[in-house]
Chain A
Amino acid sequence: MHNSLIIKAFRRAQDEGRPALLTYTVAGDYTKKKSLEILKSISNYSDICELGFPHNTPIADGGQIQTSSYRAIKNGIKMKDVFSIVKNFKKIKKNKPIILMGYFNMIYQYGEDKFIKICKTSKVDGLIVVDLPYPENKKFAYKCKKNKINFIQLISPTTSKIRLNKIIKESHDMIYYISMLSTTGGKLKVSPKKILREYTKIKSHNKHKKVVIGFGITEKSINSLKKADGLVVGSAICNEITRSIKKGQNAVTNATNVVKKLKNKII
């Protein structure tokens, strides 16, 4: 997938001498309309937008993303709305890559093939399925590739050497490295040095694969990891949306400011 929007986004960041900034927000948080507004607004600063399709039994998400997910579900988000958000977003930001992220049951109920098809027509660029690891994901990842959708493999500090080799081999353009043993939004409990050592190990297998680091990345820690191809921030943004709602402030502006600040730290 040489000319994928995802690869292009990484190249652009690289040309500017910085890591790509990836943001994660939940579709439908805090309403369908507002989540599209947030997405549009933060995409002025983020290079790749991850959009979560919320599930009410998320086994790998911490409190902040859980809160966003429950809020979105409560406000009536459906899979068809997720795709309509993507479509509307792409109408005005056609070159900004979108990665959908979620749990497999939602895809399973939608139907794998039907899901991939609508991803394609909605111009989804990539997919992250949290609970569909290698090798269980082989068939699905292959189907994605055939439809020019990046299936993004995850690697964690617990991934064994043998698995690491195989996963990198199976991966498409991008690999997601989970910085530490944690759910999303945990406090960074590993030193950036150690994280980057693991990162370098992955890169040394295949330098063409773009490796991003996620989990526990905030305004405080982002600068120390800027050697990576890309950095993902999710919980910090979700948290800001929650805070803004509580305080009766504008969540779109506030979330955008968070992303803007994060971006400034890595320029």
Chain B
Amino acid sequence: MKIRKKIPLIDQHDKYGFWGSKFGGSFIPETLKKPIEDLTTEFKKLRKNKKFLEKKDFYFKNYIGSPTSFIKLENLTNYLGGAQIWAKMVSEANGGAHKIYNATVHALICKAMGKKYIVGDTGAGYAGKMLSMAAKKFGLKCKIFMGAKDIKRQRPNCEAIRKNGAEIVPVYSGSQTLVDAVSECMRYWVSNCDNTHMCVGSTVGPNIFVKICGWSTSQISKELKFQIKKEFKKIPRKIKLINCVGGGSSAYGFWSNFIDYDKNRVELIGVEAGGPKGSKLHAAPLSKDAKIGILHGAASYVCQNVEGQIAETESISAGLDYPGVSPIHCFLKDTKRARYTYATDEEALNAYKLVTKLEKLNPSLEPSHAFAEAIKIAPKLEKNTIIIVNSCGDAKKDQDILRKRLGKY
């Protein structure tokens, strides 16, 4: 298993859609074969279509607000006294998180395919909020599938979704979180694929959805590479790119243009959700060595039992609370290009406390997991090491949880 250079990772799969010949693929019911083939053909065409690319760039710049800023966290750096800590402020993007890139691209594809309805899943509510925004912007009717438990814990985003005119379909089956929302959304698409486009909210699902999402979020690293070169004149000798990993869309987007670098120069660190301290439940299939399984149409490392039933997960962060992970991250893990670890709920909360105390920053619980790792390793590193954290979401949506756990927001 080897990563090839100069080819985007999203395109390094075989003809059946597998990365490293075992991750990904398209394990789908027959009914979805045709819509997925159509989508695959359309995307292949569109990503080479100059007009479409111009349109995408126009909306990325004028609607999403690219580029998001790249800033040094002076106080945190001084406080920890080791490596320099920087942040890529993806939370500045319209809507408050990286999910807007994928949502905008899916809305544009939906328009290009002449479909009027768009549906999507959401955990933290960001994917849903952004899809509802993009749908409104481009005049599409939108339904968002969301677990009943997540609807309760991510209230602010739900309000935003409804305000944008989209319908939230609560999912009561299973654990009532993201995994069930994705299943229900896929079921809906099976029944309505003739007039409806589906957006999968992360780099998961059947092969084509991994590709579209990765292609969209790669904007983050495109900007970052430019910003790093501008700031440091060249790519520094020691960089660590730290990102939280649920499905893995922001991490892939943050890393994609740096994958060709030697890992000693640009280290990629993914931080999964370790769940509550001492709990057996987590959402960390990569760092806690889950077995390969098939979930939502793709093979990846999946939290599951011996029989193949998908395991329940637990995390304070709804956006990371997912038993599977992108096949691309499985590929990066097995080729050892990226390193994966986890942070517990408590570590993420402590990181949130420290970062918000020292900096004018309000990272959501998802990137707080990445900050936890940065805080852990920074003191042990030299000053010339550059740690960059993708602050990929804003904590506004977490206000209820933060108030409850920290007594304030």
Contact = CB atoms under 8 A, between A and B. Distances in A.
A177 to B, nearest CB: 10
Identify whether the interface residues of A are mostly helix, strand, loop, or mixed. Answer: loop
Contact of A108 (B31, B183, B293, B297): B293
Interface of B: 16, 25-35, 37, 173-174, 179, 183, 186-187, 190-194, 291-297, 299, 302, 304, 306-310
> By CB atoms of chain B within 10 A, which of A56, A133, A182 has the most?
A56
B179 A133 contact: no
A59 B296 contact: yes
A209 interface: no
A192 interface: no
Nearest to B194: A181
B183 A59 contact: yes
A3 interface: no
Contacts of B191: 181-183, 186
Interface of A: 55-62, 66, 70, 73, 78-79, 103-106, 108-110, 130-136, 154-160, 163, 178, 181-183, 186
12 contacts: A55-B308, A56-B310, A59-B29, A61-B187, A73-B309, A104-B27, A105-B304, A156-B31, A159-B30, A163-B33, A178-B31, A183-B190
Nearest to A135: B16
Contact of A59 (B174, B297, B306): B297
A109 B179 contact: no
A60 B187 contact: yes
A108 B295 CA distance: 11
Nearest to A160: B34
Nearest to A182: B191
Contacts, number: 112
B30 A136 contact: no
Given A105-B308, A181-B191, A183-B191, 11 more contacts: A55-B309, A60-B31, A105-B293, A106-B308, A134-B30, A154-B29, A156-B31, A159-B33, A160-B34, A160-B37, A178-B31
A45 B307 CA distance: 32
A110 B308 contact: yes
Nearest to B33: A133
A193 to B, nearest CB: 19
A79 B191 CA distance: 29
B297 A131 contact: yes
The 5 A-B residue pairs with the shortest CB-CB distance, nearest first, are: A109-B308, A158-B34, A156-B31, A105-B294, A60-B29
A57 B33 contact: no
> By CB atoms of chain A within 10 A, which of B27, B30, B194, B304 has the most?
B30
Contacts of A60: 29, 31, 187, 190
B308 A59 contact: no
Contacts of A136: 16, 25-27
Nearest to A57: B310
A181 B193 contact: yes
Contact of B33 (A66, A158, A181): A158
B304 A59 contact: no
Contacts of A59: 28-29, 183, 186-187, 190, 296-297
A130 B29 contact: yes
B27 A57 contact: no
Contacts of B35: 158
A79 B309 CA distance: 11
A109 B299 CA distance: 12
B30 A56 contact: no
A56 B183 CA distance: 10
A70 B193 CA distance: 26
> By CB atoms of chain B within 10 A, which of A130, A135, A158 has the most?
A158
Given A109-B291, A131-B294, A156-B31, A78 B307 contact: yes
